[in-house]
Amino acid sequence: MLRFLTAGESHGPALIVVVEGLPAGLEISTEEISAELARRRLGYGRGPRMRFEQDVVTLVGGVRHGRTLGSPVAIEIANSEWERNPEKWQTEMSPAAEDGPTQAPLTQIRPGHADLAGMQKYGFTDARDVLERASARETAARVAAGTLVKKLLATLGVQIVSHVVQMGSAKAAGAHRPGPNDLALVDANEVRCLDAVAAEAMVEEIKEAAKDGDSLGGVVEVIAYGVPIGLGSHVHWDRKLDAALAQSVMSIQAVKGVEIGDGFEVAGRRGSEAHDPVTWTEEGGYQRGSALAGGVEGGMSTGEPLVVRAAMKPLATLNRPTLATVDTRTKEPGVSFKERTDVTAVPACAVVAEHMVALVLANEATRKFGGDSVAEFTRNHQAFVASLAAGPVGV
């Protein structure tokens, strides 16, 4: 079993992630983690912070001479903001009681954000006590963890790609789905969309929203190629692969919907047109004639490409706040406080979703194949593949 835990606030000194359950012998470097973090900072429509944020990575534990030890891997990602603006953040976010608060509390809460529910739940009078952790800055730590497990999955031949399929009302045509080796091509596009016409419309829509001080949501898609047959299980609700994927992708900040395969579209069809027909040939083994199920049947991976889509709502922080709200101190109506923000973070969300899918698949793969070293893990996988071929129904 593989698990991870993140800590850290958006304007605190750093983010921390601890990844537990990785086998020993996985090759990893800070450069590889930094490269994935740089992918997450890409994307037209992000705010000024992404231009100076460096995501400086330190491997604090679990890795020696470029290889995992089987012990927890701890990674620190420094927040550039802490160093860049020390007078503000090193006191405002200081853990020491004598240092703060240095600013007036944020009480004109943002509708749609975690502010109000968080203040009510934890008994806070300053929305900063909530927003610092609710911030999507935390997803940098998830991507760092995901980098490790993407490398582990690669030892099984799994490749995961992500792209943006909708930005505001601009939609990519279905034919532009990236293949296993298309990630660099997707990353080269400023909205991470392979449909050039749609990408242009997406950029235009972001420009228009930016002009109005508004924000934009969209839909991202993750496709995992080469997923072994049989990850997840039909036997329990909490062992179903699709359920685990839905939870992990839904947990990304601002995601409000998750779909496996063509889930919502299929709901409107008749059963005779809603499932992927199965064929078998000597050379090709079992094959499904379509990809409606998104590579999961009965909570188990089928070996077909795994497809997960997520709907991200427009960010609740607006550059020109217009939504009606209430000041929690005075109860006076008004508009929310102003906090620096992105116009959209949909391209970054796609990268984060890619890593969250990797974390779920790696957890299920370690559950199925086990092993204390990468060599044992891959040997167990190969033995399963061989046993499938020799088994009662073959491959």
256 versus 340: smaller Cβ distance to ligand EPS: 340
244 versus 343: smaller Cβ distance to ligand EPS: 343
Nearest distance, CB of residue 336 and ligand EPS, angstroms: 12
Name the β-bridge partners of 98: none
378 binds ligand EPS (CB under 6 A): no
137 binds ligand EPS (CB under 6 A): yes
344 binds ligand EPS (CB under 6 A): no
141 binds ligand EPS (CB under 6 A): no
What is the enclosing helix (H) or strand (E) of 161? strand 159-167
381 binds ligand EPS (CB under 6 A): no
Nearest distance, CB of residue 173 and ligand EPS, angstroms: 29
Burial 95-117 (b: 16+ CB within 10 A, else e): eeeeeeeeeeebbbbbebbbbbe
335 burial (CB, 10 Å; 0-12 / 13-18 / 19+) is middle
Applying CB under 6 A, the span of 156-164, 207-215, 242-250, 338-346 interacting with ligand EPS comes to 338-346
Nearest distance, CB of residue 132 and ligand EPS, angstroms: 9
Among 53, 115, 187, 195, indicate the residue that binds ligand EPS (CB under 6 A). 53
Residues 1-20 that bind ligand EPS (CB under 6 A): 10
Applying CB under 6 A, the span of 174-182, 258-266, 335-343, 377-385 interacting with ligand EPS comes to 335-343
26 versus 254: smaller Cβ distance to ligand EPS: 254
82 versus 286: smaller Cβ distance to ligand EPS: 82
Nearest distance, CB of residue 262 and ligand EPS, angstroms: 30
110 binds ligand EPS (CB under 6 A): no
135 binds ligand EPS (CB under 6 A): yes
Longest CA span, the chain: 74
Burial 293-311 (b: 16+ CB within 10 A, else e): bbbbbebbbbbbbbbbbbb
42 CA to centre of own chain: 14
Tokens describing residue 73: 């891997």
210, 314 contact by CB (below 8 A): no
Nearest distance, CB of residue 30 and ligand EPS, angstroms: 17
Whole-angstrom CA distances from 276 to 100, 104, 126, 178 are 60, 58, 52, 21
In the three-class reduction of DSSP (H, G, I as helix; E, B as strand; rest coil), residue 387 is classed as: helix
H-only helix segments in the chain: 30-41, 49-52, 80-84, 86-92, 115-122, 128-134, 139-154, 183-188, 196-211, 241-250, 263-266, 346-369, 374-390
341 binds ligand EPS (CB under 6 A): yes
Point out which residues bind ligand EPS (CB under 6 A). 10, 47, 49-50, 53, 81, 135-137, 140, 317, 339-342
